[in-house]
Amino acid sequence: MPTGTLAGATLTPAPTRQPDDVERAQRGDAQAFRRLYMATADRMHRLARWLLHSGDVDDAVQDVYLRAWERLPDLRDPRTFDGWLRRVAVTVILRRREQTARTRSREDELSAAAEAPAREAPAGLALDLEHAIARLPGGARDVFVLYDVEGHDHGEIGRMLGISPHTSRSQLHRARTLLKHVLKEEP
Amino acid sequence: MRDTHPSDETLSGWLGRDLPAGEQRRVAEHLRHCERCQGELQALREVVRRAQDPAKAWPEKFAVWETVAARLNSGRRLPRSGRRWRSTARVAIPIAAAAALAGILLMPPRSRERPALADHPAVAALLTLDGDLSREVEALAARPDWGTEAARYALRGANHEITGGIAELTRALRARPDDPALTQSLGRAVEHRAGLIREATR
């Protein structure tokens, strides 16, 4: 159980992650968990940005770390923490996305679709890869992010997204092809 | 193939060794002499390489940590000290052992997804059993006559979470397939999945 206070922690710079932080956090050391958060939050935020087609990305990242804190005692091998955290993140984010899709009304969807072009870069400007990934079709983006960025295999992706490994492969190749064209347009 | 350039999708498949063996060889042969396709392949490699660049800094992470910390301090979510694992561990190990034995006796064809682990009967048997259990949970969660929509959603979420844990263990087992602690953890995870079915059908 955590015993220390967490208040005021952000007044000091983010300290470097320590080798035994995972074990300490498993025992309830919140400062160790904070160091783990600081070391991994940029990546988790990027993952949430890419996988959440809409919605509040910051809230999703919060949920990821709250879930990770809750489940951390179940992690058997602390050396696998980074991969384990990515899996927790994918599960939380996909669940949140599914929940959002279920609860969103048709009117909201139409409204979001109408707003979407405003988030895109102005026509004629080259896009960096990050923007290009965000603009991929949903299925292709999910698979690209989970395979090429997060390192899951097609079997795992199929189970996570409810698609066949064959579909996962097709979507990956489609995504890479689209992104290749974007990179070629870069100055 | 000498006269026809492979498509981008085919080159991407070649990159991931996803093509049938014959096509994989034909593309390799084509690439040997086609500078244009070598360039296309290099561009695809660049996409993959850049996708793995470190994430850009997220400036709000300090503010978001404050919210996370406040919620941790509120006591709504605290580490559970492995409570759930302990509760299942009493029955998990015998079940895992039985499952492994059953798997050895009824060894299925080798899985294309897990070539390295197919040579380890206990692990392969547990993974096969787990695949069956996972499909069973999914089928249950897809039945409109079972539970409420929220319950089906929660069941599917729990199933996905176990899938994540098992995939993690599978990766570790690929590196250390003879590690008995990992196999035992896998057995517990499979038992956890079986527990979902028991609980859902009670």
- What are the residue ranges in chain B where pLDDT is below 70? 1-3, 74-116, 150, 202
Interface test with B, best of A42, A49, A74, A166 (most B CBs within 10 A): A74
Q: CA B29, CA B190: separation in Å to the nearest integer? A: 44
Closest-CA residue in chain A for B14? A173
Check CB contact under 8 Å for B58 and A41. yes
Q: From chain A, pick out residues whose CB is under 8 angstroms from the CB of B46.
A: 180, 183
Predicted pLDDT at B167: 80
**Band of the pLDDT at A151, cuts 50, 70, 90?**
confident
Let me know the angle formed at the C-alpha of A65 by B74 and B187, rounded to the nearest 5 degrees: 110
| Nearest one of B94, B132, B76 to A62, comparing CA atoms | B76
Check CB contact under 8 Å for B8 and A177. yes
Q: From chain B, pick out residues whose CB is under 8 angstroms from the CB of A73.
A: 79-82, 85
Shortest Cα–Cα distance, A55 to chain B (Å): 16
Q: From chain A, pick out residues whose CB is under 8 angstroms from the CB of B63.
A: 10
Residues B60/B68, Cβ–Cβ less than 8 Å:
no
Check CB contact under 8 Å for A46 and B80. no
Predicted pLDDT at B144: 77
Shortest Cα–Cα distance, B48 to chain A (Å): 6
Q: CA A3, CA A46: separation in Å to the nearest integer? A: 31
Q: What are the tens digits of pLDDT across the range A83-92?
A: 899 999 999 9
| Of residues A62, A69, A169, nearest to B18 (C-beta) | A169
Give yes or no for B110 touching A (CB within 8 A).
Answer: no
Q: CA A73, CA B83: separation in Å to the nearest integer? A: 9
Give yes or no for A173 touching B (CB within 8 A).
Answer: yes
Residues B146/B140, Cβ–Cβ less than 8 Å:
yes
| Nearest one of A181, A175, A119 to A146, comparing CA atoms | A175
Two tokens, residue A121: 């870069």
Predicted pLDDT at A186: 63
Predicted pLDDT at A69: 94
Q: What global pTM score does this model have?
A: 0.58
Residues 6+ away with beta carbon under 8 Å from A51: A90, A93, A94, A97, A141, A142, A145
**Band of the pLDDT at A111, cuts 50, 70, 90?**
low
Predicted pLDDT at B121: 77
**Band of the pLDDT at A105, cuts 50, 70, 90?**
low
Closest-CA residue in chain B for A33? B69
Predicted pLDDT at B81: 38
Residues A33/A9, Cβ–Cβ less than 8 Å:
no
- Whether ipTM > 0.85 holds is no
| Of residues A37, A102, A152, nearest to B65 (C-beta) | A37
Give yes or no for A4 touching B (CB within 8 A).
Answer: no
Number of H helices, E strands in chain A: 9, 0
| Residue linked to tokens 């052992």 | B97
The radius of gyration of chain B's CA atoms, rounded to the nearest angstrom, is 23
**Band of the pLDDT at A126, cuts 50, 70, 90?**
very low
Q: What are the tens digits of pLDDT across the range A20-63?
A: 899 999 998 989 999 999 999 999 999 999 998 666 899 999 99
Give yes or no for B71 touching A (CB within 8 A).
Answer: yes
* CA distance to A46, B65, B77, B78, per residue, from A40 (Å): 10, 12, 20, 20
